[in-house]
Chain A
Amino acid sequence: MAIRAVEVWKVYGAKDARVEALQGVSIEVEEGERVALLGKSGSGKSTLLNLLGGLDRPSSGGLRVGGHDLDRLSGREMARFRSTTVGIIFQSFNLIPSRSAVENVELPMIFAGRSPRDRRAAARRALEAVGLGARMDHRPDQLSGGESQRVAVARALANRPRVVLADEPTGNLDSQTARQVMSLILDHVHEHAATLVLVTHDEELAAACTERVIRLVDGRIAADTP
């Protein structure tokens, strides 16, 4: 089992300002399975992805991702989990503007303590794999949107994560570039038998790229269909 969420609640604020972003969500995802989280804006899909990626902690409920019980991990272990077990791809790329493409890809490996020579070689291979072998030393402001997202994909996959979490990765891209980027992600998932959780509101993309669709409405699972 790659992911198991049991009665996960995420509540923000208190009293009148209380917002229940997730209301007792329970899901199970097998190793190598490709799952889409579908829902409107504010349905809680990004919140669930953040919890699965260890960026946030649930208000209650249990979470097990890639063999780790997230509620039992210390801050330091959680950081290690983020840099090695999961790879997160954001809609807005989230590259560090002052760093070159290769340095951005190196980032998780730096925090994981890999040697400079080792991580530079891995980052170069990852960038070549996404077709950016000639743009390694370019900074994000010198790259197009598609190229930036490919750098972000390379960064997320460079450490060969067991679970890939993609939060609307094609949301800011044209359809052709979006296909290229999804193709890169799926290639990695197939090649390494990784688990994919794709957050999107694009029904077609979900159908094309995943084998199971979980629909979220107001923080609850409305449907879970293959």
Chain B
Amino acid sequence: MRWFDLLLWALAALGQQKLRTSLTTLGVLFGAFVLAASLSINEGVQETIQREASKGDASRKVTVYPSWRAKRGSNQDEVKVKGRMSPDRRERIRKALADGGGRGGAAERVDLTSDRLETLARLPHVRRLIPIVGGQVVATLGNRPEDASVSSGAGEDPEFRRQIVAGRAFEAEDERSVLLSEMFAYRIGLVDDADIAQVIGKPLRIELWSPEEGPSFEVSLAGRSRGGRGRDEWLALRQLAWQIPAMLDQFRLTGDERSILEKAIRRPSATPAPPSVADDYRVVGIFRALTHEEDKDAWSRFPAGTDLILPRQTAVDLFFRDPARRKEGLAHAVLLIDDMRNVKEVVDRVEALGLRSESIVRFVERERLTYLLIFGGMTCVAAVALLVSALGIANTMLMSVLQRRREIGIMKAVGAADWQLQALFLVEGGLIGLIGGASGLLLAWTISFPGDAWVRSMVRRDMQIDLSGSIFAFPTRIALIVLFFTIGVTVVAALYPARRASKVDPVTALRHD
């Protein structure tokens, strides 16, 4: 018997029982629809997450921070744990002490020093290292000093250039220029538009105070808003901080408390130390804050509320001129990786250096895992639905075998072999799977258009985000999986009925009718 004949014969047999075939196929269709929709949404959502995360450079960035690590060569056996305790607890504490834990144990701090920054810049796949400098400075325009926060940035990002409302962005990473925030300008009295225009090109003095040379105490006023702090107030509080050590006797402290503090504080100095570094920079532009919409997309922009922005290299040079900060290193740095797929490898290398890192790839991976679990569950439900429909198919085909006993007997009498009858029923099952699976796929694909439009409108309405691309994806792989699964399930469901058909005794089948 030829395969073509098998196919025609099976199609004809299905055609004879139109209602039964339709109902059976409908069960497979719904199972295939849920399976296709689930796989398609899973694929589409994963792609959407990837796509949204890949907007700009965010997905290729790794932010590196200083961290603590166990001292090299520290031997756990040398760590002694005092007290009487269970062996398990002793082991846990000994291990924690050996690891350092940052609390007096055998741990060392791994800082982002200039040497380490060079090491990071040389790591494979790192296209660029962006040192991030940030901190508090005193900025003086003319004769008006003001407390200000400073960040570093070359302003090369086209998105950032849109924030420049007056003047220009930086042209080089090492130019001696500074950008002022619109709010900082307002705070220091540049209220009118004309004031803004006039400040461009003026020098701004930036003073950096070394924490090493500062007082032992930090004094601040509780509940003061940022806008209310002026340089005079800051200087007054600093004077107070300098004078506290000499006044320890005036406080109600026990002898022990006083002696602990006296041992801990730096030797009191009569006068506050001068700023460790000070330099002049030319104001080249004014930038505005991010709008609400821009803020939603901003994965790694400048910290909100930064008053001043210096070019990257200029900021690094300024901070590293202070010996204490040079030793301490930067608060963080950003590595720009050549490809998102290499981020994990770079993260592993960074952590092997003892540094801490953050990247949205991890966040994205967590998100993807969450959706993978959700849609994995949905796929299981779809698979169960298909398996249930398979039971229906097995039952229907078994009934069909019983009803067609005479026909099967005739076929055997005129020369049908057992395998041919088995193949006939298996092909019938496979055709139901193929037709049901293909229809389910088609239905899922058709529904994906209004479904996608609905989800987009919902996301736009609730989150004010315009998704690019569809949240449904139908790669060939999904079509093949769905068809393979539905045909597989229906063929397996037809196995027993097919076997029963091949075992029909022609003599009995023909005699009884």
Residues of A within 8 A of B (CB): 50, 53, 55-56, 75-76, 79-80, 82-84, 88, 90, 92, 94-96, 98, 107-108, 110-113, 115-116, 155
**Pair B410/A94 contact, Cβ less than 8 Å:** yes
Contacts A98-B407, A111-B415 given; 16 further ones with Cβ under 8 A?
Answer: A50-B507, A53-B413, A55-B506, A75-B418, A76-B417, A76-B418, A76-B419, A79-B415, A95-B410, A96-B410, A98-B12, A107-B410, A108-B414, A110-B1, A110-B5, A116-B2
Known: A98-B16, A111-B411. A116 touches B417 (CB 8 A): no
Which residues from chain A contact B415 at a C-beta distance below 8 Å?
79-80, 82-84, 107-108, 111-112
A98 to B410, CA, bound (A): 13
In the complex, how many angstroms separate the beta carbon of A224 from the nearest chain B beta carbon? Answer: 25
In the complex, how many angstroms separate the beta carbon of A166 from the nearest chain B beta carbon? Answer: 13
Q: Number of A-B pairs whose CB atoms are under 8 Å?
A: 72
Using CB atoms, name the residue of chain A closest to B1. Answer: A111
Which residues from chain A contact B510 at a C-beta distance below 8 Å?
90, 92, 94
- SS class of chain B's interface: helix, strand, loop or mixed? helix
| B149 close to A (CB within 8 Å) | no
- Chain A CB within 10 A, most for which of B4, B9, B414, B505: B414
Tell me how many residues of B have a C-beta within 8 Å of chain A.
26
Which residues from chain A contact B410 at a C-beta distance below 8 Å?
94-96, 107
**Pair A96/B417 contact, Cβ less than 8 Å:** no
Using CB atoms, name the residue of chain B closest to A90. Answer: B510
Q: Which 7 A-B pairs have the closest CB atoms?
A: A83-B415, A79-B417, A111-B415, A108-B414, A82-B415, A108-B415, A111-B416
Using CB atoms, name the residue of chain B closest to A159. Answer: B415
B1-34 contact mask (Cβ, 8 Å, vs A): 1 or 0: 1101100010010001000000000000000000
Can you list 26 pairs linking A and B with CB atoms under 8 Å apart? A55-B506, A79-B412, A79-B415, A79-B417, A79-B418, A82-B412, A82-B414, A83-B416, A90-B510, A94-B406, A94-B409, A94-B413, A94-B510, A96-B407, A98-B12, A107-B411, A107-B414, A107-B415, A108-B415, A110-B9, A111-B414, A111-B415, A111-B416, A111-B417, A112-B415, A116-B2
Using CB atoms, name the residue of chain A closest to B420. Answer: A111
A107 to B407, CA, bound (A): 11
A95 to B414, CA, bound (A): 11
In the complex, how many angstroms separate the beta carbon of B123 from the nearest chain A beta carbon? Answer: 68
Which residues from chain A contact B9 at a C-beta distance below 8 Å?
110
Using CB atoms, name the residue of chain B closest to A112. Answer: B415
A112 to B418, CA, bound (A): 13
Using CB atoms, name the residue of chain A closest to B409. Answer: A94
B109-124 contact mask (Cβ, 8 Å, vs A): 1 or 0: 0000000000000000
A76 to B420, CA, bound (A): 9
Which residues from chain B contact A90 at a C-beta distance below 8 Å?
413, 510
Which residues from chain B contact A155 at a C-beta distance below 8 Å?
414
Which residues from chain B contact A115 at a C-beta distance below 8 Å?
2
In the complex, how many angstroms separate the beta carbon of B119 from the nearest chain A beta carbon? Answer: 74
In the complex, how many angstroms separate the beta carbon of B508 from the nearest chain A beta carbon? Answer: 9
Which residues from chain A contact B507 at a C-beta distance below 8 Å?
50, 55-56
In the complex, how many angstroms separate the beta carbon of A84 from the nearest chain B beta carbon? Answer: 7
A113 to B507, CA, bound (A): 24
A55 to B419, CA, bound (A): 16
**Pair A79/B12 contact, Cβ less than 8 Å:** no
Which residues from chain B contact A108 at a C-beta distance below 8 Å?
414-415
In the complex, how many angstroms separate the beta carbon of A111 from the nearest chain B beta carbon? Answer: 4
